[in-house]
């Protein structure tokens, strides 16, 4: 007779298995005894009458039976250690029933080590396994995740029932071998085994996990064929399978057709909507569930809580929180974790932090949710702080924790922490998870270590579309667009790209001007049917605009139905960049006639800022107020930028003042706006105030550093530099170049060179800043040497590098200047523009070659502008060539009749030539035109505080001390033989006014009073330095043995030991 069928329930409780027979009493047996106790004498038998000795075979059989019974008894009472000792100490193997009891106890206790030891012994003792023993071993091994051992047992079973197959199918699915699980299911059918009610949930879970909706439908047909279409568990599995395969309609059809539903059914359907990004439908179904008086369980509440966060419905999320608290779920760790996820999705990290801090028990998921939340909400520094606390609490991170921490490192540029996380991932084996490897790729790419990312990518066992997209985007981020395109082409043969991949590849095409490749990718995008997905349309617009294909860009723009602020800005900026201002304005008017939402208003305001259309911007401001758009921070920020760029900074201050919410963009816009409107002191004031309210980003730091550079606030700039390094963004975006610009403009070439040397990703802007710095210090030879080094390193000069010609003109290096002028055209294919010609005219004029300069102007292939003629006029002033200067001035005043600077330059020409009647005539013309020269202003930084002085300023608290110092210097100058040169401004005033009235002299005197001997005095002026001040500062530097730097609107003067870095060129 065959043995009774094994249990068909996957995991029945141990007591249920033992209920069919009476368990023997526990034996007083422990491993310490070392022997079995003596058999008790039967009741009623005297001690003297001993029974005859049994036969040997009978005795052995009785011993075998007793030991098996003892083993079963120990297992039935949960004494695993004693049972295992008895098994391993007995020379005779127990029967299958004893092994079955032991395996079930190990499975119930999850005693992996004991179970594997027992399994090894049974495997050695039995060449094949009976059905009951084999099923018990399979169940235990699958529960332990030992799928390979389970397969060996399964293969040794000569007889298998449906339970055997169910366990193996479920086991393969559990460990992720989904294709193998399906294959095993079909082998079961081919073997003639009829599935039962427990088979189909396992198979359907496998279909959903792949996901494979075709196979799922086939299994659905099997369900109906075998008559399980009314089983609730099977129908629940069908709902889940269809939902995971993305066929939410089929899932709902199954759900609606169920005659009887339970909480699991509702959970499956609600979760299906959430997984398919139909959060609103899922929440509606949840409300229907409550109306039908179906009580939700913890899983329901958890999934609905997370989904309410995804919908950004704060009110509903709060209601769900209260709903869960009333039903007693608030103390459950899993629910608290879902609350944290909900609040982090809503961006309410404060509420998430409160939930986290009140949790009595926290698991790894709790910590991970906080780390991930801080990282995704723009607080990567907080994310790393929480990770550090997690380590202090000895909580083991999982793969998601490591991935979130790595993402925070990528945001902060914390390569040091990222490397440690990389080592931890390798030690714990997390590196094999693709989510961790992808996070490593992004971290190394954003930390400017793309070669390390390549190394990680090379050794990845599995690469998904995110891996390839991260590498392609990383190459673009590291200015290696050709490598990005190479990887993209290679990827096409291995993984199907998604919209993120295409965006990165199109960005690489735009950066390299690879129009043909971009068109091919465009065709691929259309074939894949994602031409309107995400940022892809804008990436295509950007490609065609940057490649100069405005007609293609317009065609793409016309068919793009969902135009956002980026779309309009790309087209507007593209038309403006290609000199098509009229078309840009027409496009702007077209945008105004469309249905203008808040994002459209932002786009329109950005266009106004770009085109300088203040009138339209004011109307848009009124529209935003009437429609209520002004309450959105993004609209208010656009208004700030529009007013700032339209030179109406006071109006921007008014908008900023009444903003209900100010983010980092708001503060950055104001700081940058102040810099743009030459109010750098206000910019620094706002920056200092901002630090107490909002954490600045790289854009903020760039604007603040620009303000420091403009005001010469070196100490403040160094403090900001230290702040930047602490935040880990010293190499982010334009920050390195902003630091270079700061040190160059403050005359700190040694600091600038140190910053330049450690900057690994130098671009043409970096080189240009350093070149301009050496130019400003009159170091023409070094500038030319650096230019040659730049060319040798493969950096292509751009049009801005024309400052080299200025370097030659400052140093009087005419031959080198002409050589560079011709090299631009012949070697670098840069067509000379007006700035280049102005530089060449300036070069010739400064060294007295005025005729050659005039002839160069007449030979120019393009019409000279006022700047070109102004360079000639300045040369005429230096060399007192009145006749040619008047000719140049006549042309200038026809081109720029209301430019104050050129009128003043003409006055200086007449003054230096002693033609006072002409001076009076020019001054009269200026008064008639209402032209007033800006009041001279200079400022000096002393002990971290910037002090400003105006011309003829008598309001400063130390003005008496300043005047005493200046008079003392004047006396020492006379004693040493120095004599100041009189200029236009000095002609009609007394000798005391000559020495005390100029703002830069007041600033220098103040610096002498309030700094220690040997300290360099750095002064910044809003106009050029007059000839008299130039002579005086040379004298002061020699008399008091101080270095003095004066940065005016023309150049940087470094006075030392009676000499100036400009070589007195322009002050002859």
pLDDT tens for each residue of 382-408: 999 999 999 999 999 999 999 999 999
Residue-level length of the chain? 1068
Distance, in Å, from the CA atom of 1055 to the CA atom of 1057, rounded to the nearest integer, reads 7
Quick check: bond before 211 cis, omega within 30?
Answer: yes
Distance, in Å, from the CA atom of 322 to the CA atom of 224, rounded to the nearest integer, reads 43
User: How far, in Å, are 91, 100, 110, 132 from residue 135 at the CA level?
Assistant: 25, 9, 17, 5
Residue with tokens 């040190």: 743
Which residues does 157 contact at the CB level (< 8 Å), separation at least 6? 128, 129, 130, 131, 134, 164
Q: Are 544 and 552 in contact (CB under 8 A)?
A: yes
The answer to whether residue 630 scores a pLDDT higher than 80 is yes
Cβ neighbour number for residue 963 with a 10 Å cutoff: 16
Distance, in Å, from the CA atom of 299 to the CA atom of 315, rounded to the nearest integer, reads 21
522-547 mean pLDDT: 89
| Nearest to 294, CA basis, from 258, 245, 336, 250 | 258
Distance, in Å, from the CA atom of 893 to the CA atom of 922, rounded to the nearest integer, reads 11
- pLDDT-wise least confident of 427-441, 540-554, 761-775: 761-775
The confidence score (pLDDT) of residue 233 equals 92
916-930 mean pLDDT: 86
Phi, psi of 1053 (to 5 degrees): -105, 125
Band (pLDDT 50/70/90 cuts) for residue 811 is: low
The alpha carbon dihedral of 310, 313, 316, 317 has a sign of positive
The confidence score (pLDDT) of residue 825 equals 65
| Nearest to 674, CA basis, from 698, 659, 656, 692 | 656
The confidence score (pLDDT) of residue 981 equals 45
Distance, in Å, from the CA atom of 524 to the CA atom of 521, rounded to the nearest integer, reads 5
Instruction: Return the bridge partners of 938, or none.
Output: 949, 1021
Which residues does 786 contact at the CB level (< 8 Å), separation at least 6? 767, 770, 771, 774
Q: Are 232 and 261 in contact (CB under 8 A)?
A: yes
The confidence score (pLDDT) of residue 835 equals 83
Band (pLDDT 50/70/90 cuts) for residue 223 is: very high
Distance, in Å, from the CA atom of 748 to the CA atom of 756, rounded to the nearest integer, reads 12
| Nearest to 328, CA basis, from 365, 363, 374, 297 | 297
Distance, in Å, from the CA atom of 929 to the CA atom of 323, rounded to the nearest integer, reads 75
Distance, in Å, from the CA atom of 820 to the CA atom of 783, rounded to the nearest integer, reads 12
H-run or E-run covering 1053: strand 1052-1056
Distance, in Å, from the CA atom of 294 to the CA atom of 94, rounded to the nearest integer, reads 50
The answer to whether residue 39 scores a pLDDT higher than 60 is no
The confidence score (pLDDT) of residue 97 equals 87
Helix axes 834-846, 850-859, angle to 10 degrees: 160
Residue bearing the bigger pLDDT, 572 or 1002 = 1002
Q: Are 910 and 960 in contact (CB under 8 A)?
A: no
89-113 mean pLDDT: 88
Residue bearing the bigger pLDDT, 443 or 713 = 443
Residue 90 in 3-state DSSP? coil
| Nearest to 732, CA basis, from 370, 380, 374, 344 | 380
The answer to whether residue 237 scores a pLDDT higher than 90 is yes
Q: Which CATH architecture has domain 662-761?
A: Alpha Horseshoe (1.25)
Distance, in Å, from the CA atom of 916 to the CA atom of 923, rounded to the nearest integer, reads 10
Ramachandran area for residue 513 (φ above 0: left; ψ -120 to 50: alpha; else beta): left
- pLDDT-wise least confident of 233-242, 254-263, 587-596, 772-781: 587-596
DSSP state of 802: G
Structure tokens given for 167: 């366990």
Count of alpha carbons within 13 Å of 662, Cβ hemisphere only?
21
Phi, psi of 227 (to 5 degrees): 85, 30
Band (pLDDT 50/70/90 cuts) for residue 243 is: very high
Band (pLDDT 50/70/90 cuts) for residue 372 is: very high
pLDDT tens for each residue of 728-741: 888 888 899 999 99
The answer to whether residue 711 scores a pLDDT higher than 60 is yes
The answer to whether residue 787 scores a pLDDT higher than 90 is no
| Nearest to 846, CA basis, from 813, 802, 822 | 813
Distance, in Å, from the CA atom of 930 to the CA atom of 943, rounded to the nearest integer, reads 40
Mean per-residue pLDDT over the chain, rounded: 83
Q: Do domains 465-562 and 662-761 have the same CATH topology?
A: yes
Cβ neighbour number for residue 835 with a 10 Å cutoff: 17
- pLDDT-wise least confident of 628-632, 633-637, 966-970: 966-970
506-526 mean pLDDT: 92
Residue 1056 in 3-state DSSP? strand
| Nearest to 808, CA basis, from 778, 828, 838, 835 | 778
DSSP state of 801: G
H-run or E-run covering 1059: strand 1059-1060
The confidence score (pLDDT) of residue 164 equals 94
Q: Are 428 and 391 in contact (CB under 8 A)?
A: no
Residue 688 in 3-state DSSP? helix
Distance, in Å, from the CA atom of 687 to the CA atom of 662, rounded to the nearest integer, reads 14
The answer to whether residue 44 scores a pLDDT higher than 50 is no
Domain edges within the chain: 273-360, 362-462, 465-562, 662-761, 947-1060
Looking only at the bridges linking them, the beta strands covering 945-950 and 1059-1060 are: unpaired
The confidence score (pLDDT) of residue 482 equals 93
pLDDT tens for each residue of 791-805: 888 777 777 776 565
- pLDDT-wise least confident of 31-45, 345-359, 668-682, 902-916: 31-45
Q: Does the domain formed by 465-562 have CATH 2.20.28?
A: no
The answer to whether residue 154 scores a pLDDT higher than 80 is yes
pLDDT tens for each residue of 647-656: 999 999 999 9
User: How far, in Å, are 522, 532, 551, 566 from residue 536 at the CA level?
Assistant: 9, 6, 18, 12
The answer to whether residue 51 scores a pLDDT higher than 80 is no
Which residues does 442 contact at the CB level (< 8 Å), separation at least 6? 406, 407, 410, 470, 474
Distance, in Å, from the CA atom of 642 to the CA atom of 645, rounded to the nearest integer, reads 5
DSSP letters for 976-1041: HT--PPP-GGGTTS-HHHHHHSSHHHHHHHHHHHHS-TTPPEEEEESSPPPHHHHHHHHHHHHHTT
Band (pLDDT 50/70/90 cuts) for residue 13 is: very low
- pLDDT-wise least confident of 53-62, 667-676, 1018-1027, 1058-1067: 53-62
User: How far, in Å, are 75, 805, 827 from residue 820 at the CA level?
Assistant: 94, 7, 10
The confidence score (pLDDT) of residue 1 equals 31
Distance, in Å, from the CA atom of 621 to the CA atom of 642, rounded to the nearest integer, reads 10
Residue 950 in 3-state DSSP? strand
The confidence score (pLDDT) of residue 673 equals 95
The confidence score (pLDDT) of residue 623 equals 83
**How far apart are the two ends of the chain, measured CA to CA in Å?**
123
Distance, in Å, from the CA atom of 97 to the CA atom of 489, rounded to the nearest integer, reads 62
The confidence score (pLDDT) of residue 1067 equals 67
The pLDDT > 90 percentage for the chain reads 36
| Nearest to 274, CA basis, from 262, 284, 287 | 284
């Amino acid at each position: 007779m065959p043995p009774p069928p094994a249990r068909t329930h996957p995991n029945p409780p141990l007591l249920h298995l033992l209920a069919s027979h009476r368990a023997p009493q526990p034996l007083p047996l422990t491993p310490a005894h070392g022997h079995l106790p003596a058999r008790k004498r039967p009741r009623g038998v005297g001690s003297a009458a001993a029974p005859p000795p049994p036969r040997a075979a009978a005795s052995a059989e009785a011993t075998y039976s007793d030991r098996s019974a003892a083993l079963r008894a120990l297992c039935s009472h949960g004494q695993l250690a004693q049972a295992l000792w008895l098994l391993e100490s007995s020379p005779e193997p127990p029967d299958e029933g004893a092994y079955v009891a032991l395996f079930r106890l190990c499975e119930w206790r999850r005693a992996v080590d004991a179970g594997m030891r027992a399994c090894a012994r049974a495997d050695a003792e039995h060449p094949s396994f009976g059905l009951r023993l084999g099923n018990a071993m399979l169940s235990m091994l699958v529960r332990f995740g030992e799928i390979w051992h389970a397969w060996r047992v399964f293969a040794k079973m000569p007889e298998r029932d449906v339970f055997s197959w169910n366990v193996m199918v479920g086991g393969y699915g559990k460990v992720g071998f989904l294709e193998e699980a399906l294959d095993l299911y079909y082998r079961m059918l081919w073997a003639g085994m009829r599935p039962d009610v427990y088979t189909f949930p396992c198979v359907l879970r496998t279909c959903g996990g792949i996901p494979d909706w075709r196979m799922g439908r086939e299994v659905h047909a099997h369900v109906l064929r075998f008559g399980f279409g009314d089983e609730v568990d099977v129908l629940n599995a069908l709902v889940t399978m269809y939902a995971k395969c993305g066929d939410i309609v089929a899932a709902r059809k199954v759900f609606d057709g169920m005659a009887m539903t339970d909480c699991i059914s509702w959970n499956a359907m609600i979760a299906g909507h959430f997984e398919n990004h139909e959060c609103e439908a899922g929440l509606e179904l949840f409300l229907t569930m409550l109306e039908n008086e179906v009580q939700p369980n913890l899983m329901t509440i958890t999934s609905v809580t997370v989904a309410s966060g995804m919908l950004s419905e704060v009110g509903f999320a709060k209601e769900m929180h209260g709903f869960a608290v009333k039903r007693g779920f608030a103390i459950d760790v899993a629910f608290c974790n879902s609350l944290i996820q909900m609040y982090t999705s809503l961006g309410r990290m404060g509420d998430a932090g409160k939930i986290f801090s009140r949790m009595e028990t926290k698991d790894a998921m709790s910590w991970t949710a906080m780390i991930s939340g801080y990282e995704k909400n723009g607080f990567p520094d907080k994310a790393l702080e929480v990770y550090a606390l997690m380590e202090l609490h000895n909580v083991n991170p999982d793969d998601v924790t490591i991935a979130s921490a790595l993402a925070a490192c990528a945001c902060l540029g914390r390569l040091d922490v990222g490397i440690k996380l990389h080592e931890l991932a390798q030690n714990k084996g997390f590196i094999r998870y693709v989510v961790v490897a992808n996070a490593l790729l992004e971290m190394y790419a954003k930390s400017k270590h793309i070669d390390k990312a390549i190394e990680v990518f090379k050794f990845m066992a599995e690469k998904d579309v995110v891996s390839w997209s991260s590498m392609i985007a990383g190459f673009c981020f590291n200015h290696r667009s050709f490598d990005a395109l190479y990887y993209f082409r290679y990827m096409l043969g291995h993984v199907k790209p998604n919209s993120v991949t295409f965006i990165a590849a199109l960005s690489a095409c735009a950066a390299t001007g690879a129009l043909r490749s971009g068109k091919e990718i465009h065709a691929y995008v259309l074939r894949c049917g994602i031409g309107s997905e995400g940022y892809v349309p804008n990436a295509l617009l950007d490609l065609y605009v940057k490649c100069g294909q405005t007609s293609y860009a317009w065609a793409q723009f016309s068919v793009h139905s969902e135009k956002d602020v980026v779309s309009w800005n790309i087209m507007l900026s593209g038309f403006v960049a290609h000199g098509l201002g009229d078309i840009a304005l027409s496009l702007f008017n077209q945008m105004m006639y469309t249905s203008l939402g808040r994002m459209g208003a932002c786009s329109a305001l950005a266009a106004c800022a770009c085109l300088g259309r203040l009138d339209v911007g004011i109307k848009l401001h009124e529209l935003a107020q009437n429609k209520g758009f002004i309450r959105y921070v993004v609209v208010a920020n656009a208004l700030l930028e529009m007013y700032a760029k339209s030179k109406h900074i006071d109006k921007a201050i008014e908008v900023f003042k009444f903003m209900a919410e100010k983010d980092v963009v708001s503060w950055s816009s104001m700081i940058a706006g102040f810099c743009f409107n030459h109010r750098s002191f206000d910019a620094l004031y706002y920056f200092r105030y901002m630090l107490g309210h909002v954490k600045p980003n790289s854009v903020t730091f760039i604007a603040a550093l620009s303000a420091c550079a403009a005001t010469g606030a070196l100490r403040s700039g160094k403090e900001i530099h230290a702040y930047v390094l602490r935040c880990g963004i010293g190499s982010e975006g334009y920050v390195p170049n902003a630091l270079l610009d700061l040190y160059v403009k403050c005359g700190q070439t040694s600091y600038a060179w140190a910053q330049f040397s450690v900057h690994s990703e130098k671009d043409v802007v970096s080189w240009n800043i350093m070149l301009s710095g050496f130019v400003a210090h009159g170091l023409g030879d070094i500038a030319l040497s650096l230019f040659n080094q730049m060319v040798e390193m493969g950096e292509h000069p751009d049009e801005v590098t024309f400052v080299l010609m200025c370097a030659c003109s400052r140093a009087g290096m005419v031959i080198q200047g002409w050589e560079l002028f011709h090299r631009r055209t012949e070697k670098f294919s840069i067509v000379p523009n007006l700035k280049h010609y102005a530089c060449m005219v300036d070069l010739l004029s400064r060294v007295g070659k005025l005729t050659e300069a005039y002839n160069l102007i007449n030979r120019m292939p393009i019409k000279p502008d006022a700047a070109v003629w102004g360079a000639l006029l300045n040369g005429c002033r230096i060399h007192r060539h009145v006749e040619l200067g008047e000719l140049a001035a006549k042309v200038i005043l026809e081109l720029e009749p209301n430019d104050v600077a050129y009128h003043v330059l003409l006055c200086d020409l007449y003054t230096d030539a002693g033609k006072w009647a002409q001076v009076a005539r020019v001054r009269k013309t200026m008064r008639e035109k209402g032209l007033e020269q800006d009041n001279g202003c200079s400022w000096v930084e002393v002990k971290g505080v910037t002090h400003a002085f105006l011309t003829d300023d008598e309001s400063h608290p130390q003005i008496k001390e300043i005047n005493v110092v200046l008079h003392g210097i004047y006396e020492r100058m006379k004693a040493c033989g120095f004599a100041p040169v009189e200029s236009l401004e000095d002609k009609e005033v007394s000798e005391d006014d000559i020495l005390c009235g100029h703002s830069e002299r007041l600033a220098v005197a103040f610096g002498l009073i309030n700094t220690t001997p040997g300290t360099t005095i750095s002064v910044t002026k809003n106009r050029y330095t007059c000839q008299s001040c130039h002579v005086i500062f040379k004298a002061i530097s020699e008399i008091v043995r101080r270095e003095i730097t004066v940065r005016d609107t023309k150049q940087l003067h470094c006075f030392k030991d009676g000499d100036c870095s400009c070589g007195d060129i322009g002050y002859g």
